[in-house]
Structure 1
């Protein structure tokens, strides 16, 4: 037992020595790890501090150069040393262990700092000649940058009482509600600008987003009511209370089921736009207009328009927004593509010409000289005569004998009769108009075009304006096809004149005098079940029909904005400087001279050639002249001078709108570019 204890004691002493050795090794390892962690953290903080100082130096130097562009590199270097002094920014470098390099490229100032620091604090315990590391930091800042905005607005700069009556049903119809604003209210809405930065900040607060999260504001769903109410709140806070009541009235009228929208679908801001770019005014009417169009979700709405054409008794218009109007972006023309487009709108106009006495009288007057030949054609149609006058005489004798006495004992059933008819403008004429919209843009890569010029008092901005086709289809158009986005609507010809016959059977005839006609309602002429001639089956034999499918080609042109009609960004434009907007000359917008097709069909097509030629010539004069029926109706909607500015109200046709621009050559803001 004693021997065993001696062995155990000796073993314990050996183990205690091993433990001491392991503890020493562990302490050395921990010390090494502590040195690495401490030096790494210290170097990271030194590097971060150096970068902060480089950023500060670049920002201040760029701003100083913006304000005094006579500064040379030496002067800017001295300024950097002032910025980097220990008294100002706690930069502890000196001429021995730090260097400052300043370079300039245009209005971009680059500051490069180099600073030597001990590689390791722990290496001081064992001094050596290689105990320094060279930290570097580079920062580039720009000031005096140009900033530009493109704009597109409706031509309704002045709204009279008639146009206010149009704005109420059109915009109210898109919302599925009723608006009742006066002309003064609409004028106040149209002339109102709002600061975009203040507006986005207020919307961000309404949406409970972080301050400055403008991308969140643009991509978050928001109700149209909130969007308009926030705009009224911003206007009220800024002291612009003239149109607050009108905006609150619009907001109150919006139905609760109106779909939510994303502001970014209307407001095309450049990605990563900063506060400097957002500190500008935008037209609130265009923004609200685009929001209403987007919230309407592309639904067609019926609009009653007072188309001021004499004699037109019944005109109805339906419009569908294919693409809502976009509000203009703000950006740097040196680096950004600035782009804004107008809406695309499809309209369907239905005109009931049968109730239009003046038009019918005009066309009847045109046709009157040809009534005799038409009557002969109708007689041939009804009789089916192919043997000329002799055959016609024989048929009349036979028909007279057959109807001498019928409906009684001798002949209980009277024979069928073919009764000719001639119809003029019996159905509604339909006109489909697609306004393709347009766009205005600038790009740093514009070929052979200077995007902007800023040289002393000379200031110029060049934009590219494009417009799409405006097409008009005339004839008979199915309502569903007219508003389909899958394909252009199919158009069938519209009947101007139709000739044919209906089959009737009288209840009795005595010596050729027949009474109580019953009309056949089927093609075979066997079902005589109505006394209403309008319900009778029509055996169409011929007539004249018209159709048209025409296009107004858009434009692709360069538009230059120059002083004094190129204001500073944020300056009032509509009221104090109306020249900053300019119309875009697209060319002929009227459809006078439109190539309408008038064709004869059936019996009329194979009839007297002089009759056909005379009828078509007369109809062309009545329908196709510049002030004729067809051109008048179409021009009432597409020509901004006719007093029915449907497309202008919807912002649909750039040819009827105005484009403008604003440019600030030296924006007194400074920013880091890397």
Structure 2
């Protein structure tokens, strides 16, 4: 009994030891397999992280190429080369190819697509990408690059001969081009006299102190601030919103936190100016030339715009085609007249450096001055004498002139970005187009005369002398000047001696007919001024110059003069958006 029990116990223990050994083998095998799977998973995860880093760096490098001024095709080519170089530098050996398909990355390598990233594009919002590779190159420029990197990695402990696992990483880099805001004016931004000029444009109603005006000169407002103040959703809606001049001023001053000046700016402003503004289609887009193709215009939303300049430009848009009231602005001889009309209002420019095949200057972002007609009629003679007898014997001298202040344009041809805003620079090329002068019609100083004009009527008792002039229009070209300015800088560029040149050209083109009537018998002599042009032009300029200079000083305008202002330079950094 005892021996049998001992033998059974021994067999049971032996069987138990055998069972534990089998369980241990199974357990160890399971742990080993789990370890191998974990190593494989970790290896795949690590390679995926590497691949994503390659895609991120390639997208950023490619997007940087979109900040350069060039055609869309050249920018795409450079983006592809930059992505390839970045991949190689980061240990990726696959070839880069251009692929703007809906789901690229089906084979090993790098698929690169330069396209448009727009967070407001609902149709391209799938997966949070907001990216489309197809766009209208005439209306848009690429502002983002999508990079998809695919690579097959081996399974370390898989079935021998297996294909491995194909990994895929995607990144989208956005690079809005650096933009600048600038303006060019014919002396209109010479702020020593701009308050008086604005007063004339607003009907002599402005009552703004010098310190308040200087505060507006030193204040900027952004498109995004104007958009929020206007309560619209996009910059495009802001640009197209129709406004009266009062509404425009309220919008700009409100966005700049200068609403306290609104009454001083518009108190008693004639209602006709508001009506003119609506008739002229006043809106932010008429004041700004936004040289940024959609949807990249959002890159200009944070560029600072000078408040004083916006107010001045809007007033000129409102007065387009209308005669500005110059009564009392410049002291003239009794009987003399002045007339000023804004033919084409100026515009401020906001945009990037980008060549243009359609703009005459060859650059897309350009600002221009206003084009004005200045009519002046100087009269000296009978109006100075009260006596009817004496006035009948007093000679009358009349000189009606029309001076056209043609448009000057400034183009953004270069930008230098830097971390510190003060170190940023904008390069502007300014071209002054022709100015012209002609004899004007006496009953309409805004039109050149098309027939002989009487300049003098001299009674000499039994004799009578009349001097007539045959009108000829002469043009005087300006010159091109390159300027490099920092944000907030101002430079005045001008073609010297333009007023004297205009007067000399006028004198050179005056063919005078002197008619002497003696006892009713007329004798006419034609007088060519070629030989005495210097002496005559100096006399004319001596009489005309001070008056014109006084008028132009009151309006802040000079002939062939351009005031350049760089309001802001914005250099957005390239960033990953997916």
> Fold-level match, TM-score > 0.5?
yes
Matched, 1:473 2:488: no
Counterpart of 2:326 in structure 1 is 303
Counterpart of 2:561 in structure 1 is 656
Counterpart of 1:464 in structure 2 is 429
Matched, 1:196 2:193: no
Counterpart of 1:424 in structure 2 is 395
- Distance change >3 Å, CA 500–CA 165, structure 1 → 2: same
- Distance change >3 Å, CA 348–CA 115, structure 1 → 2: same
How many residues align structurally?
A: 436
Counterparts of 1:267-282 in structure 2 under 5 Å? 267-269=288-290, 270-272=292-294, 273-282=296-305
Counterpart of 1:149 in structure 2 is 181
SS at match of 1:226: helix
SS at match of 1:222: coil
Counterpart of 2:5 in structure 1 is none
Instruction: Using the TM superposition, give the Cα deviation of residue 607 of structure 1 relative to its aligned residue in structure 2, in angstroms.
Output: 6.0
Q: Which runs of 5+ in 1 are unaligned?
A: 1-51, 80-93, 117-131, 359-363, 365-419, 444-450, 503-539
TM-score (norm: length of structure 1): 0.52
Counterparts of 1:161-180 in structure 2 under 5 Å? 164-168=195-199, 170-173=200-203, 178-180=205-207
User: Between Structure 1 and Structure 2, whose CA radius of gyration is higher?
Assistant: 1
Counterpart of 2:254 in structure 1 is 233
Instruction: Using the TM superposition, give the Cα deviation of residue 436 of structure 1 relative to its aligned residue in structure 2, in angstroms.
Output: 1.2
Please point out which of 330, 338, 351 is paired with 1:330: 351
For residues 274 and 337 of structure 1, the distance between their equivalents in structure 2, rounded to whole angstroms, comes to: 14
Counterpart of 2:410 in structure 1 is 440
CA contact (8 A) 1:150 1:441 kept: no
SS at match of 1:290: helix
Counterpart of 1:245 in structure 2 is 260
SS at match of 2:381: coil
TM-score (norm: length of structure 2): 0.60
Counterparts of 1:558-569 in structure 2 under 5 Å? 558-561=481-484, 566-567=485-486
- Distance change >3 Å, CA 646–CA 493, structure 1 → 2: farther
- Distance change >3 Å, CA 282–CA 78, structure 1 → 2: farther
CA contact (8 A) 2:55 2:148 kept: no
Please point out which of 435, 449, 458 is paired with 1:498: 458
- Distance change >3 Å, CA 201–CA 153, structure 1 → 2: farther
Matched, 1:111 2:147: yes
Instruction: Using the TM superposition, give the Cα deviation of residue 658 of structure 1 relative to its aligned residue in structure 2, in angstroms.
Output: 1.3
SS at match of 1:628: helix
SS at match of 1:321: strand
Counterparts of 1:582-593 in structure 2 under 5 Å? 582-585=492-495, 588-590=498-500, 591-593=502-504
1:403-436, CA deviations, whole angstroms, 9 ceiling, x for partnerless residues?
xxxxxxxxxxxxxxxxx9655116x542222111
CA contact (8 A) 2:149 2:170 kept: yes
For residues 135 and 334 of structure 1, the distance between their equivalents in structure 2, rounded to whole angstroms, comes to: 41
SS at match of 1:289: helix
Counterparts of 1:233-632 in structure 2 under 5 Å? 233-236=254-257, 241=258, 244-254=259-269, 255=271, 257-260=275-278, 261-269=282-290, 270-272=292-294, 273-307=296-330, 312-333=333-354, 337-354=364-381, 422-425=393-396, 429-442=399-412, 451=414, 461-474=426-439, 476-479=441-444, 482-483=445-446, 488-490=448-450, 492-499=452-459, 542-546=465-469, 549-561=472-484, 566-567=485-486, 571=487, 573=488, 578=489, 580-585=490-495, 588-590=498-500, 591-596=502-507, 597=510, 598-603=512-517, 624-625=538-539, 627-632=541-546
Q: Which runs of 5+ in 2 are unaligned?
A: 1-51, 67-81, 93-104, 115-142, 153-163, 357-362
SS at match of 1:197: helix
